[in-house]
Amino acid sequence: MTPNPAGAVLAGRRPERLPVAPVFGADHAAARAGVPLRDAMTDGDRLAGVLLAAHEDYGGDLLVVFSDVTVEAEAMGATVRFSPDLPPHVAEPAGEIRKLDPERDGRLPVILRAAALARAALPPDLPVLVSLKGPFSLAVLALGMDRLLALAIEDPPKARDAVLAAAESQEAYVAAIVRRGGIPLIGDPFASGSVLGPGHFEALALPGLAGLVFAAHRTGSPAAIHICGDLRPVQRLVHRAGADLLHLEQADFAAATAAGSVVLGGVPTDVFLRDEAAVRAAVRAAANTAPPGHRFILGTACDLPTRADPELARAMVDEARRLPWSP
């Protein structure tokens, strides 16, 4: 059997074919399986079930275990609202940041159970990335955006303390993910260059990201970071976090690989709400603009939209596998 090309790339080897991965979360996987979102997001077996079913259908070279962005904030006491057809959102922030026990608190055990099941079900060299929130985004979701963003300017030491408290809590989650055989994928949407400038990124987002990457490395695991939106204003700082894999949207991929990371991305997610021709064209365009060398996994720039047509995810993988490739 051919070795998994995404695993090869992450291990620093040349893959035998271009690795490809439509990235999706529980919302998409549950919707396509006809499972109510809330059920998939609150039950580890069902979460693993819908994710694995979508993975098997699409045939990507890696799997991301991702439920939604509110998991840790909810465990800290935020009120989270679920609705039938949308990912949940924070209706009322927790107002505080407290240290979580990933084996016990909120839905963290649900995610860890899904991670363990997914790991056991898939070939050992297929990377299973498990999503957790970056400390800055977790602090925003737990304390409220207005409060944290205003503190960032009006009382920077307090803002830094809040983010560091979030990072300390996430360290235990990183270790728990690695124990399940998952690779921590630190998602930090509020640290996007669409929201934060370099000054605040460096002061508030970078220390926590770097700390969590180091926490993963200490256990011998690689670590990944996902930031969507326009990364360019903060990209050189993101490289300093030392992640092995960067899952990015608007960014300079060549600079990221030159800085030593594998890049995952290239295909904008809005094409999955159009048609097959648009998806196939986007895959070819992504391959044409791929960074030099073999540090690239052709993936969706962010998660597949909830209602994306599964046919289009299959077309993405099929098109990537047709591309000419010289190992």
Partner 1 sequence: MDAPPPVLEDLARSVLELDREGAVRAAGEALLAGVPPETAITAGLAEGMRRVGERFAAKVYFVPEVLVAGRIFYAAMEVLAPHVARQPDAAGTMVCAVVEGDFHDIGKNIVKLMVEAAGFRVVDLGKNVPAERILEAVERERADLVGLSTLMTPTLDRMARTVKILKERTSAAVLVGGAPVDRAFAAKIGADGTAPDAAGAVALAREFAGRRRR
User: Which residues of the chain form contacts with partner 1 (CB under 8 A)?
Assistant: 86, 89, 145-146, 149-150, 152-154, 193, 195-197, 200, 233, 270, 273, 305-307
Chain residues in the site for ligand B1M (CB under 6 A)? 25, 27, 68-69, 86-87, 89, 145, 189-190, 192, 194-195, 228-229, 249, 269-270, 301-303, 305
CB 62 within 8 A of CB 19: yes
Q: What does the alpha-carbon distance between residue 15 and residue 296 come to, in Å, rounded to a whole number?
A: 10
Judged by beta carbon distances under 5 to 8 A according to partner kind, the member of partner 1, ligand B1M, none in contact with residue 200 is partner 1
Judged by beta carbon distances under 5 to 8 A according to partner kind, the member of ligand B1M, partner 1, none in contact with residue 233 is partner 1
**Nearest 10 degrees: Cα torsion 249, 255, 234, 137:** 50
Cβ of residue 194: shortest distance to ligand B1M, in angstroms? 4
Length of the chain measured in residues: 327
Judged by beta carbon distances under 5 to 8 A according to partner kind, the member of ligand B1M, partner 1, none in contact with residue 303 is ligand B1M
Query: DSSP secondary-structure letter at 47?
Result: H
> Could you give the angle at the alpha carbon of 304 between the alpha carbons of 245 and 232, nearest 5°?
45
Q: Considering beta carbons, is residue 32 or 294 the nearer one to partner 1?
A: 32
Cβ of residue 83: shortest distance to partner 1, in angstroms? 9
Cβ of residue 94: shortest distance to partner 1, in angstroms? 17
Question: How many angstroms separate the Cα of 78 from the Cα of each of 22, 29, 86, 88, 143?
Answer: 31, 25, 18, 12, 9
Cβ of residue 230: shortest distance to ligand B1M, in angstroms? 7
Angle between helices 206-218 and 156-179 (to 10 degrees): 20
3-state secondary structure of 192: coil
CB neighbours of 12 closer than 8 A, spacing ≥ 6? Answer: none
Cβ of residue 230: shortest distance to partner 1, in angstroms? 9
Q: Considering beta carbons, is residue 167 or 191 the nearer one to ligand B1M?
A: 191
Cβ of residue 63: shortest distance to partner 1, in angstroms? 23
Judged by beta carbon distances under 5 to 8 A according to partner kind, the member of partner 1, ligand B1M, none in contact with residue 64 is none
Judged by beta carbon distances under 5 to 8 A according to partner kind, the member of ligand B1M, partner 1, none in contact with residue 69 is ligand B1M
Judged by beta carbon distances under 5 to 8 A according to partner kind, the member of partner 1, ligand B1M, none in contact with residue 25 is ligand B1M
CB 125 within 8 A of CB 57: no
Q: What does the alpha-carbon distance between residue 109 and residue 88 come to, in Å, rounded to a whole number?
A: 18
SS (H, E, C) 199-242: HHHHHHHHHHHHHHHHHHHHCCCCCEEEEEEECHHHHHHHHCCC
Q: Considering beta carbons, is residue 249 or 319 the nearer one to ligand B1M?
A: 249
Cβ of residue 146: shortest distance to partner 1, in angstroms? 7
Q: Considering beta carbons, is residue 177 or 191 the nearer one to ligand B1M?
A: 191
